[in-house]
Chains A and B, each alone.
Chain A
């Protein structure tokens, strides 16, 4: 069994896993990191959205081999210790979550957007593909704008 090392939420980890194993299942079933959710397995619902070297990615369609020697950040690693990321704080301030299942992915997608585009337009926010079956989209939009305003 091949072995892969990467940095997960700031800490080095090494796993023995098949090279084609999606990193979602490495995170969830081997490392017990369950923030990234399974919602489709084909990269379209984006409930698993996390960051790879600081950019948004979907762990359900990226093999663990492609994460070797790179930095993976999940929702568990977004805050700076006890200090929430501005997007997480905006999410709480705007009561965004309903059932909450898609929200780790939504927050990670929003954080990645703001990193690239600190003052996103409505059209740029529209490009977020993450599905929310509870329909929290309006509050997601508000929270992203609030986080953008708070820097």
Chain B
């Protein structure tokens, strides 16, 4: 789009902070500055280059009012989540219990390619270029935000960098449209990395209480109660408009109800789940593998602890209790290919986990060196997946490889802190998504031969990888991992 000028936003330090006043005289007088406009969420600067735009943004003198969460930090959020977890109820009479409580921090999507949108909003029509997982919803919301009929809004869906759920929401596109309308010119909006990490969106924090009841060497009941933060909408802010509320599965259930993924992978007798939530005005969104990334990870840790309690090997125990032959087959595959049970030096261990979803199943075997528990290294990952017919085996292998890195990151080191209503982290310097030195030195993916209809595979590996990393860490350190990320 010729003539769309680089645009950045000044945003409040706290989540949902509000603009009180802005003195833009210095910024407007700077070279290369085309416009300074106020829009929902902050103050936009349109300039000749992103360098000019950032310089002028930094020259704005802004007074912000703190956002609605200014009295809230991690400790308080954790206690509220814990209190929101529904009661587990009574275990079967005569059974022994293996219980665990698990906490997961907020996690940024942190797509390498930050959010961008080009918008050209005129009196009678608008055109917007951006990458989106939900362009139809976006078009309606943009039309409503700029006061045009839907038919007068043209959306161009662009190829975009991987965003792992972040582009289900179209906050940046609405924002660009509002800026273009206010500035009366086409704009090329880019969120800075700090905007992206500090203003979301993020995977909701959650708290899980899981109980396996066993009798005579068998699990006879399995209960998982959890609570996660869900997004509350105050007024018609940008957050509400940019959210994928309609037509898209929400990131989390907003009220108590049955869990979406109590899949009954195992013959665990009476399996039940219940969830609660804590509503906060935070920008949240589904993150690769959605609820399974936390729920199934926690469950796989409990499965290992049950096996240990019964004096059984984690793979042998799973093999005797898994319902589905296909899941047993992927588990056997990683046990064989990954040389399960091989002797490792002290401080190192193997761990395993499985997952079944989207008509597919996967197993993951991890070797970890946790000699220094504060600086563990996953040295090897072996995964096996049955996704039905694998249309693009190299692509499938790549997806599994990516989920292994997601598991390593979210379990060991990558999360967001909330301090007085603000996100503490602001780049990859402090949001510790894995780099090469955290990635396994050896990675193998095995694809099970099948002519079945293809299942899903893009998100499939996350819970198995995360569970296997946690289980390997537990075995290497003799600890019970409970709060993630572990080094935070």
Contact = CB atoms under 8 A, between A and B. Distances in A.
Interface string B102-114: 0000000011111
B317 interface: no
A24 to B, nearest CB: 8
Given A99-B112, A99-B113, A140 B193 contact: no
A56 B31 CA distance: 31
Interface string B41-65: 0000000111100100000000000
A99 B428 contact: no
Contact of A132 (B6, B112, B427, B437): B112
Interface class of chain B by DSSP: loop
Nearest to B5: A29
B341 interface: no
Interface string A9-52: 00000000010011001001110000001111110110100000
B161 A139 contact: no
A140 B436 contact: yes
Contacts of B470: none
B439 A135 contact: yes
B161 A100 contact: yes
Contact of A42 (B51, B112, B429): B429
Contacts of B403: 135
A44 B435 CA distance: 11
Given A45-B112, A99-B113, A139 B51 contact: no
Contacts of B447: none
A25 B49 contact: yes
Contact of A136 (B190, B402, B437, B440): B402
B192 A39 contact: no
Q: Which of A28, A42, A127 has the most CB of B within 10 A?
A: A42
B488 interface: no
B441 interface: yes
Interface residues of A, number: 40
Contacts of B433: 131, 133
B282 interface: no
Given A38-B190, A41-B193, A122 B441 contact: yes
B405 A135 contact: yes
Mostly, the A contact residues are loop
A4 interface: no
Interface string B404-446: 1110000000000000000000011100011111011111000
Given A28-B50, A44-B428, A39 B162 contact: no
B164 interface: yes
B398 interface: yes
Contact of B401 (A18, A39, A99, A135): A135
B427 A40 contact: yes
A25 B32 CA distance: 13
Interface of A: 18, 21-22, 25, 28-30, 37-42, 44-45, 47, 95, 98-102, 122, 125-141
24 contacts: A21-B49, A21-B51, A29-B50, A39-B113, A40-B428, A44-B428, A44-B429, A45-B427, A45-B428, A99-B160, A99-B162, A101-B111, A101-B161, A125-B436, A129-B435, A133-B161, A134-B402, A135-B402, A137-B439, A138-B439, A138-B440, A139-B398, A139-B401, A141-B439
Interface of B: 6, 31, 48-51, 54, 110-114, 160-162, 164, 190, 192-193, 394, 398, 401-406, 427-429, 433-437, 439-443
Closest 4 CB pairs of A and B: A135-B405, A137-B439, A99-B162, A101-B161
